[in-house]
Amino acid sequence: MAAATPLEVVNDFCDAVNKQDLDAVVAFFSDDAVYHNIPLEPITGRDAIREALEGFLAMLGTMTFDTLHALADGPIVATERVDSFSNGDRTVALPVAGFFEVHGGKITAWRDYFDMGQVSSQMAG
């Protein structure tokens, strides 16, 4: 069986997010992966990424990714997404440009760019 392409890895990763399967989500990362929500500090290492995602989910609730576009150039995958967070009766929908680096079938870097002001205003409203 052929190894998954970087685009397939990222698509499968987004599917795992949508299934709310944190173990599967974390398994996509290399041990030394870097996750960087650009307005925040980068997070390094699979265990630290798990901890950060658990914190986001505890604060924001259920997380889903609606991928509008995805394209790959070698190991780099770019996504245009709408990430939604639902907690009780409140849903926050956030446009995101995400970039992934995939090597050896694992995500080694994940960078998301979004408007922190939009997050703050939706969470407050």
Active site residues: 83, 112
* Cβ atoms 107, 16 nearer than 8 A: no
Each as own residue / partner, the long-range contacts of residues 91-100 (CB below 8 Å, 24 or more positions apart, any chain) are 92/60, 92/119, 92/122, 92/123, 93/122, 94/118, 94/119, 94/122, 100/6, 100/9, 100/10, 100/13, 100/76
E strand intervals along 59-89: 62-73, 76-87
